Structure formats: C-alpha cells, structure tokens
Amino acid sequence: MTDSSRPAVEAVGLHRRYGPADGAGFDAVRGLDLTVHRGELFALLGTNGAGKTSTMELLEGLAAPTAGGIRVLGHDPYRERAAVRPRIGIMLQESGFPGELTVAEAVRCWVGLTSRARPADEALDLVGLLDRRTVRVKQLSGGERRRLDLAVALLGRPELLFLDEPSTGLDPEARAAVWQLVRELRAQGTTVLLTTHYLEEAEELADRLLIMHRGRAVVSGTVAEVIAGRPSRISFELPERSGPYGDLTLPPLPAAEVTATGRRVTVRTTRLQETLTDLLGWAARHQVALGALDARSASLEEAFLAIAAEAAGAAPLPIGDPR
C-alpha cells in the first residue's frame, strides 16, 4: 500500500476552480502535472498569483481538486487524510497560533494532535526558539512566528514536508539557519516540497523545480536543466561621448545581443568568456573605462524572469536595467 519506490507526490491533470463554473469563477490551477520523488527537495516557483498556494493546498489535502488525480505517499490526500496526515508536516504561508498562548503552550497543543510527536522543547530547539518558550505568540516577531510554524510542521518527524514560503519574513541569518535545517532534514531522507519567492533559495536547495505561471507548469527540471541555453549577461557604463570618446563604437560581438539605454549597455551572450575577451580587449585598446562592469552566468533568476515574460506573451524583460 505504501510502496516506497513510488514517488512521494504524484499529481496528474490538476485543476482548481474557485467560484461558479461559468465566467464568474476563477481557475487558479489549470492542468498541472507534478511528481516529487522520495528524498528529493522540490521547489514550486512562480509569480504572485501563479497558483502555487492553490496547488499546495490540493497536495496537502486541504481541498479537493476540481479535476485531476493526486497520490501523496500512495493515498488520496483529501479523501484518505487520516492515512496521510500522520506522515506529513505542513507549514502554511501564514501561521495560525492563538496570540494569547505562550510558544510552549501552542506547541504542547500540537504535540497532542500529532502522532509520534517529538517533545515540544526538542522541536523548539530545532528552530532556535527554545529561549522564547514562555513568550506569548502575539509578542513574537514575524520571523519567530515563521519558525514556530516550522517547529510545528516538524513535530511528527514527517516523511514529507510541505513548506509554503518558509523563509518569507526572515532576516538573512534566520534564513540561512532555516536553509541549513532543511538541508539536514533532506540528508536524513525527508522529502521536501517548498514554494518560494526567493530564486536563490530554490537554486541553493532544490534538486528539481517547477515554474508555474497562471496555473500551468511553464518549465521543470533540475536547476541546471532550467538554466541551460539561457544567455549570460554583461553590463557596464560607457564614458560620456565627448572629447576623445566622441565617436566611440563597440566592437562586433558574435553570438551576443546588445541593448543600450543611454550610457548603460547590456550584452546577452551564450558564450560569456569569448564575448568578455572581445569586449575587454577593445576597452584596453581604446583606453575606455567600463563603469560598473558586471558579468554573470545565467542564473535561475534570469531564467525565471525570461520564462515568466515569455509565458506572459511579452518580450523577455530587460534584466538588470535599472531604468
């Protein structure tokens, strides 16, 4: 029944519609296929309103899909929630603990609601909240609340962990700590499905990812697969076109696409090293100082923005152009 060779999450043809079936309703998820293998960390990315949270709620069994099938650890997460829930941990996008309870009381309540629960203090220690245990929830900072939420999600040592924007609202130090914790959990064999706004989070943590746009999957695969074929980017500022630089023109740059806005130039290239060599050689010969020079390989962020723009039917966004 719980064949461990099968994926942790399998979703096929997922649809979720809010409101009536006619034009007044809204399709948040429109035919999504998704597979999360056991032991992997899978990131669900997308712009705001792409349908990430709607999808997560279906996979978590909080709502039934309008159409499509879901198996989570071999069960229907909505109809067979009693079989699924003891084996998964869920952290919603917004935490929900009574403000007048202390941190310890909130966790103790959840200990009573969770099979094979860790001791409350152990869970709080995992997320670095042990010294805040006697503080009322309403007095916690936003970041501390996120960590309390994570502690509760980890209480039952879940096989599968759902994290909906786990690091939103955390300061950089707390975010690094959460990343470290998630890595450790994965190393111990926990399957993790997370959504995030932070592309570097997905780049840092995810084995595989899926980018959603308007309820559909636009692209999926490993970070390397998603980035493959995306251009690298060079940007710099030219000096004023006056005096010795009056008739300055850039050299021909094969395999590159150049866009200029005033003095600011952005070059996209599939061959970063060659293009950069050509450019720097030219600058040395003409004694041109390239201001604010920046060269970078294709990143997930760049790929994401380009993909989102393409999916929206627009031209790729001018990345890195400050104006």
| Residues β-bridged to residue 162 | 90, 193
Does 2 engage in binding with another protein (CB under 8 A)?
no
* Cα R_g (the chain), whole angstroms: 24
Q: Which stretch binds another protein (CB under 8 A): 42-50, 79-87, 207-215, 238-246?
A: 79-87
Q: Which is nearer to another protein, 113 or 260 (CB)?
A: 113
Does 98 engage in binding with another protein (CB under 8 A)?
yes
Q: Which stretch binds another protein (CB under 8 A): 94-102, 189-197, 229-237, 270-278?
A: 94-102
| Kind plus residue range of the DSSP H or E element containing 204 | helix 199-205
CA 37 to chain centre: 17
| Among residues 53, 95, 235, 266, the one that binds another protein under rule CB under 8 A | 95
CA angle 141, 147, 153 (to 5 degrees): 145
Q: Which is nearer to another protein, 137 or 288 (CB)?
A: 137
Maximal C-alpha separation, the chain: 79
Does 60 engage in binding with another protein (CB under 8 A)?
yes
Does 25 engage in binding with another protein (CB under 8 A)?
no
Q: Which stretch binds another protein (CB under 8 A): 27-35, 104-112, 231-239, 305-313?
A: 104-112
Instruction: Identify residue 294 by its one-letter amino acid code.
Output: D
Instruction: Identify residue 169 by its one-letter amino acid code.
Output: G
| Among residues 42, 78, 110, 236, the one that binds another protein under rule CB under 8 A | 110
- Residues in contact with another protein, counted by CB under 8 A, come to a total of 28
d(CA 19, CA 262): 49
| Residues β-bridged to residue 66 | none
Task: Provide the minimum distance between the beta carbon of 319 and another protein in the complex, in angstroms, as a whole number.
Answer: 32
Task: Provide the minimum distance between the beta carbon of 225 and another protein in the complex, in angstroms, as a whole number.
Answer: 32
Does 13 engage in binding with another protein (CB under 8 A)?
no
DSSP label of 48: T
Q: Which stretch binds another protein (CB under 8 A): 113-121, 124-132, 165-173, 224-232?
A: 113-121
| Among residues 67, 79, 100, 273, the one that binds another protein under rule CB under 8 A | 100
Q: Which stretch binds another protein (CB under 8 A): 87-95, 223-231, 289-297, 299-307?
A: 87-95
Q: Which residues make Cβ contacts (< 8 Å) with residue 254, sequence separation at least 6?
A: 271, 274, 275, 278
| Among residues 52, 85, 118, 175, the one that binds another protein under rule CB under 8 A | 85
Q: Which residues make Cβ contacts (< 8 Å) with residue 110, sequence separation at least 6?
A: 117, 152, 155
d(CA 186, CA 163): 13
Strand order across the beta sheet in which 291-296 lies: 256-261, 264-269, 232-237, 291-296
Q: For binding to another protein (CB under 8 A), which residues are involved?
A: 60, 62, 82, 85-86, 90, 92, 94-101, 105-106, 108-116, 149, 152
